[in-house]
Structure 1
């Protein structure tokens, strides 16, 4: 066989084999997507209303319509079920091994978001033929892949449920997500230029958002619990009340805000450490920044944590539950009691590692820790046993000038402010004399602790009657 004949034979073999490979990769991608939407169905707030999949030899088309429960406020303030938000993802899939003859991969998928109903109509008025969100995904042969997500800037208005209009603005997003087979782990990185919401009472705006994360599933059979790290930074965030509205006079601004969560795991247990900070925290004309709020949740049992999380999501998407909470805020605790008590049975610990902020009078700092030591399942329903095993402590350092400003904040005259300041000074002096606090460098400092049913303040057993000088 001469050389040209050999080349022709090889090309003929490839031509015959390629349709078989394309058919195989098309089947593989459909299976991956089937598994993905099976996981999504387990989420309490999402419902797959419709799904169609038309598979061809070299390409396929998929349309998935999702519904999300949308509770709304009626004109009388009651929370009720609104029309669910319907959104469809339309995807055009090119099968490998050479999808579109542009790259070597199992498949490429180009997806567009289509909002239905009134929100979709409003968006189309703004965007025309542009999709509010697009994604290009390249699937590797092992089932993992990478998605590039993009959204244009847009703004639209819609009824707010109380007779007014809610205007939503979005400056666009650019994100990149790399995922392992079955979404067992993923990394992400992205930016969003701006976001805003405005109604007759206030305007909330945010600019310069950047985010990234590196997470993995704690359990292979649980698609909604990931461990790892997430971080976000925001250049500015502001809340402004409108003149004549219910929030007239509200003026709140954050600058250089950061949010960092680290959630490592040890077997079936998770630790969560959250660091929230802002360089500027301006309320009206007073800047309380830099401000920090850092807290930790340690030794959380993963399975019971998932049960509690699912119950929280379920409550947040149930209009009847939200209506009961609007009338009685404590109503939320009843459906959470069982998973919360189960979580307590695994000896979790909670700590406020740092609350700190500046003020015109100096810096204020607080830290606290709470834990239940060795609680047994049969003791969870016994308040006395819970109190006996509760351990808590808090350290507080507050400028005395800040306490005086807060004490006189509601005074209607200079005389009332002076009286409030004198009362505060008398109370602080009494507590200092009895050893319950210390005053140094214009700071009021104390430490409170609760252990084995005993409350101590500044290392001394605390007697509430001491507040009256008896």
Structure 2
């Protein structure tokens, strides 16, 4: 057999075997999607209401309809079950193994997301036929892959349950998501030019959103608990009350805001460290930036945390539970009591690592820690035992002039303001004389601790009831 004949024979073999390979790739990608949707159904508020899959040799078409429970605020201010949010996705799938004669993969999937109902019709009209969200996903044979997500600038309205409309705007979004087999880990990176939300009372606008994350499942069989890192930055954020509304006159602005969450795992436990900061925090004419709010939640038992989270989500979408809350707002706590107490039984700790802001009067700093030391499961039902095991501490540093500004905020004239300032100075002086605080260069500093049922301030036993009587 000469060389041209050998080449022709090899090409014939490839041509004859390729349909079988494409069929196998199509079967593989359908199995991958089946597994993903099965896990998605475990979400308490998300339902897959319909799914169709037409598989061919070289390509397939899938349509999936989703429904998400949406609580709504009624005219009396209570939460009620609102109309579900409905949408569907159309997936055009091309089977591998050789896509476009250049990509070796199981399949590519082009997705268009469509919002259903009246809101979707209005949105479609504004987008002139464009889909509100598209994605191109490349799947590998092991189930891993990469998605490029794109959304054009859009705006749509959602009823809020009280006869009004919540307007949501997005100034374009782009994101890249790389995921492992079974969605057990993923990385994200993306940006949005702007986002907005508006109701009859208030308008919130953000610009310059950039985000990224690196997450993985803590448990292979639990798709809704991930550990890892998430970060987002916002160039600016404006919140303002509308004229003649309940929030008329309210306004504040933030600039160069950052949000950083690190959640590492230690066995079956999770630690959460959050760093939230902004360079500018402008309220009215005063700037209180740079401002920071850093907090930590440590030693959270993962399985119990998921149980508590699922129960909370179920309550927020259950009409009967929402109706009970309308009659008695405390009703929400009853079904949460068991998982919450179980979580406490694993001795978690909470700390405010830093609250700080800068006012025209100077810098204010606050930190606090809270934990239940060595609490045993059988002690959870005993309130006195909870108090005995409670450990707490706090440190505060605040300009006296800021305290005076707050204290005289309701004064109607200069004489009332001066009286309020003198009264505050006398009260602080009495506490300083008793050793409960220090004042230096206009800064008031104090520490507080609660251990073994005893409250101390600056290391001295402190009884607030006795102080009030005095």
Q: What's the TM-score, normalizing by structure 2? A: 0.97
Following superposition, the deviation at residue 315 of structure 1 comes to 2.3
2:344 aligned with 1:347, yes or no? no
Following superposition, the deviation at residue 424 of structure 1 comes to 1.4
Following superposition, the deviation at residue 130 of structure 1 comes to 0.3
Give the whole-Å Cα distance in 2 for the aligned partners of 1:272 and 1:245: 38
Give the whole-Å Cα distance in 2 for the aligned partners of 1:468 and 1:139: 68
Deviates more, 1:410-419 or 1:235-244: 410-419
Give the whole-Å Cα distance in 2 for the aligned partners of 1:19 and 1:232: 45
Maintained 8 Å contact 1:93/1:108: yes
Matches for 1:228-247 after TM superposition, within 5 Å: 228-247=228-247
Maintained 8 Å contact 1:366/1:394: yes
Partner of 2:43: 43
Partner of 1:426: 426
Q: Tell me, what secondary structure is at the counterpart of 1:172?
A: strand
Following superposition, the deviation at residue 251 of structure 1 comes to 0.6
Partner of 1:400: 400
Q: 1:388 to 1:160 in 2, by over 3 A?
A: closer
Q: 1:206 to 1:349 in 2, by over 3 A?
A: same
Give the whole-Å Cα distance in 1 for the aligned partners of 2:157 and 2:288: 34
Following superposition, the deviation at residue 45 of structure 1 comes to 1.1
Partner of 2:447: 447
Instruction: List gaps (5 residues or longer) in structure 1.
Output: none
Partner of 1:64: 64
Q: Tell me, what secondary structure is at the counterpart of 2:142?
A: coil
Give the whole-Å Cα distance in 1 for the aligned partners of 2:161 and 2:41: 28
Deviates more, 1:220-229 or 1:456-465: 456-465
Give the whole-Å Cα distance in 1 for the aligned partners of 2:326 and 2:400: 37
Deviates more, 1:188-197 or 1:325-334: 325-334
2:355 aligned with 1:380, yes or no? no
Give the whole-Å Cα distance in 2 for the aligned partners of 1:82 and 1:464: 46
Following superposition, the deviation at residue 313 of structure 1 comes to 1.8
Following superposition, the deviation at residue 140 of structure 1 comes to 1.1
Maintained 8 Å contact 2:396/2:446: yes
Following superposition, the deviation at residue 128 of structure 1 comes to 1.9
Give the whole-Å Cα distance in 1 for the aligned partners of 2:78 and 2:267: 44
Give the whole-Å Cα distance in 2 for the aligned partners of 1:189 and 1:107: 23
Partner of 2:317: 317
Q: 1:416 to 1:292 in 2, by over 3 A?
A: same
Following superposition, the deviation at residue 213 of structure 1 comes to 0.3
2:365 aligned with 1:360, yes or no? no
Matches for 1:120-159 after TM superposition, within 5 Å: 120-159=120-159
Deviates more, 1:76-85 or 1:9-18: 76-85
Deviates more, 1:346-355 or 1:405-414: 405-414
Give the whole-Å Cα distance in 2 for the aligned partners of 1:325 and 1:416: 43
Deviates more, 1:310-319 or 1:292-301: 310-319
Matches for 1:7-406 after TM superposition, within 5 Å: 7-325=7-325, 328-406=328-406
Following superposition, the deviation at residue 456 of structure 1 comes to 0.4
Maintained 8 Å contact 2:396/2:447: yes
Q: 1:323 to 1:258 in 2, by over 3 A?
A: farther
Give the whole-Å Cα distance in 2 for the aligned partners of 1:323 and 1:416: 47
Q: 1:327 to 1:239 in 2, by over 3 A?
A: farther
Give the whole-Å Cα distance in 2 for the aligned partners of 1:328 and 1:287: 40
Following superposition, the deviation at residue 320 of structure 1 comes to 4.1
Deviates more, 1:222-231 or 1:154-163: 154-163
Let me know the Cα RMSD of the aligned residues: 1.5
Q: Tell me, what secondary structure is at the counterpart of 1:153?
A: strand
Q: Tell me, what secondary structure is at the counterpart of 2:61?
A: strand
Maintained 8 Å contact 1:438/1:446: yes
Following superposition, the deviation at residue 160 of structure 1 comes to 3.9
Following superposition, the deviation at residue 168 of structure 1 comes to 2.2
Q: Tell me, what secondary structure is at the counterpart of 2:362?
A: coil
Give the whole-Å Cα distance in 2 for the aligned partners of 1:275 and 1:288: 17
Q: What's the TM-score, normalizing by structure 1? A: 0.97
Give the whole-Å Cα distance in 2 for the aligned partners of 1:196 and 1:319: 29
Deviation readout 1:22-54 (Å, 9 max, x if unpaired): 111111111110110111111101011111111
Maintained 8 Å contact 1:350/1:371: yes
Following superposition, the deviation at residue 467 of structure 1 comes to 2.4
Q: 1:322 to 1:428 in 2, by over 3 A?
A: farther
Following superposition, the deviation at residue 459 of structure 1 comes to 0.4
Deviation readout 1:3-23 (Å, 9 max, x if unpaired): 122111111111111111111
